[in-house]
A = this chain, B = another copy of it.
Amino acid sequence: MYEIQFGVPMSGAILNCINTRLDARTISVLLRHCEPKLLFVDTLSQSVALEAISLFPPNKSPPVLVLIQDDHDDAGGSNSSLSTVDSRFCCTYESLVEKGDPNFKWIRPKSEWSPIVLNYTSGTTSSPKGVVHSHRGIFTMTVDSLIDWEVPKQPVYLWTLPMFHANGWSFTWGMAAVGGTSVCVRKFDASTVYSLIKKHGVTHMCGAPVVLNMLSNSPEIKPLPNPVQILTAGAPPPAAVLSRTESLGFVVSHGYGLTETGGLVVSCAWKREWNKLPATERAKLKARQGVRTIGMTEADVVDPESGLSVKRDGSTLGEIVLRGACVMLGYLKDPNATNKCMKENGWFYTGDVGVMHSDGYMEIKDRSKDVIISGGENLSSVEVESVLYNHPAINEAAVVARPDEYWGETPCAFVSLKNELTQKPSEQDIIQYCRAKLPHYMVPKTVVFKEELPKTSTGKIQKFALRDMAKALGPSSSSSRLSRM
């Protein structure tokens, strides 16, 4: 997958990395939407890919399939047998590369504005949105992040952030730019991470706060040979997790970005004088998303109606808007969605809600009205709701985030049942129903039954009120291990 970040653009094609945690149905929808010519499939994703292809209608031709067989498997992942390749694959990746022309001249993009990647995001609506970035945008993002994270030459980078997450926030290319060593893993847990840090002399890694939590809560904590830089985003790192992680020798940086920006474009730039503050005060400051990076022209919090900046008082809510070189070209085949978020003068409306502090640092308050961020994965509540609405017993449904010590958030469903029911479903019944139709991480961990869901005067469900209720339930239990990372 790391090689493909370079080989695909250099061959003149556009790269689309698919989230390996998605189910076959969703993958099939994405493939039919972007119509790839070639699909590289890792051994571990073999069956889900073949199932996704089998869901293609007869009039749609599926992509040619290439199997990536890797016998250098450092941690996790089994590699059953190199000899048996399903006949639906045209060849293996290695045999394809062997047949290549060593004198092949890279194909230069027609323009710096030519697309280089497509990355799907569920965003706030249930329809898949394909974010397209240009060569120029990705170059800027890549150098921007190297400067902002102060990445030195020849770092040793552990891939705890999946490469399919906006190309690992563009660090796939960033690591090449600084001569970095990439330590790749298919699956990991705290024990694996600590042993890889020791084995390879890891200096840098990225991950959602859930990774910090995993590392600092593990019974397998090992002393770090040297400080390790961790860049986190996706949700503000909870103060307790932050101080626990830093006490172990990790140096945590915090930023904010979206698939639409290709990586982190707002960064909690740390001031030296803040080191003198007590730990709780430091954690509070570090939990803020921060200020724009130098690859961006402007970052602001505005009133979505007037477009004017909100008061810098740390409490007036507004929409986070961004402008600059790292903003996407637009959504694939979706001019409506593109026009909805890309406004005059290059402003990108994120849909995330935040406040601006008096020192110019922004903080996300209600990341967005709908999105739930579980273990660093953005998941659309609307998509989960659409499944719930198909349940024969359910009248109304709304899914919001419930705080979780381990995942950050988990989906919590509020449902009202139909009146004429002879037998009412249980919480487990509804969870089981969703499991059959949704990827594991999107399945609600909690189902709350209500007589009626709270509504606005115009009939809209008040998610804000439900979020308060979900919060009042306390953190959801976190018995499940990090099986899906």
Contact = CB atoms under 8 A, between A and B. Distances in A.
B294 A153 contact: no
Contacts of A153: 150, 269-270
A300 to B, nearest CB: 15
Given A154-B272, A270-B153, A272-B154, A177 B146 contact: no
A178 interface: yes
Contacts of A272: 154
Contacts of A178: 147
Contacts of A295: 143
Contacts of A154: 272
Nearest to A173: B294
Interface in A166-215: 177-179
A44 to B, nearest CB: 33
A63 interface: no
Contact of A143 (B152, B270, B294): B294
A416 to B, nearest CB: 52
A144 interface: yes
A144 B270 CA distance: 22
B269 A177 contact: no
Interface string A293-318: 01100000000000000000000000
B294 A147 contact: no
A146 B150 CA distance: 9
For chain A, which range describes its interface: under 10, 10 to 19, 20 to 34, or 35 or more residues?
A: 10 to 19
Nearest to A142: B294
A294 B177 contact: yes
- Centre residue among A150, A270, A272 by max chain B CB count within 10 A: A150
Interface in A390-443: none
Interface in A119-174: 143-144, 146-147, 150-154
A333 B191 CA distance: 65
B179 A269 contact: yes
A177 B294 CA distance: 7
A144 B294 CA distance: 12
A4 to B, nearest CB: 20
A77 to B, nearest CB: 30
A255 to B, nearest CB: 13
A68 B94 CA distance: 66
Nearest to A295: B143
Interface string A329-345: 00000000000000000
A83 B131 CA distance: 62
Interface in A264-294: 269-270, 272, 294
A455 to B, nearest CB: 45
Contact of A146 (B147, B179, B270): B147
Contacts of A150: 150-153
- Centre residue among A153, A154, A179, A269 by max chain B CB count within 10 A: A153
Contacts of A270: 153
Contacts of A144: 143
A299 B238 CA distance: 47
Nearest to A152: B150
Contacts of A179: 269
A272 B156 CA distance: 13
Contacts of A177: 147, 294
A66 to B, nearest CB: 30
A179 B271 CA distance: 10
Contacts of A151: 147, 150
A295 B177 CA distance: 10
A156 to B, nearest CB: 11
A15 to B, nearest CB: 19
A271 to B, nearest CB: 8
Contacts of A269: 153, 179
A25 to B, nearest CB: 41
A152 B177 CA distance: 16
13 contacts: A143-B143, A143-B144, A143-B294, A143-B295, A146-B147, A147-B178, A150-B152, A150-B153, A152-B152, A153-B270, A154-B272, A177-B294, A179-B269
Given A150-B153, A154-B272, 18 more contacts: A143-B143, A143-B144, A143-B147, A143-B294, A143-B295, A146-B147, A147-B147, A147-B151, A147-B177, A147-B178, A150-B150, A150-B151, A150-B152, A152-B152, A153-B269, A153-B270, A177-B294, A179-B269
Interface of A: 143-144, 146-147, 150-154, 177-179, 269-270, 272, 294-295
**What 6 A-B pairs are tightest by C-beta distance, nearest first?**
A150-B152, A177-B294, A143-B143, A146-B147, A150-B153, A143-B147
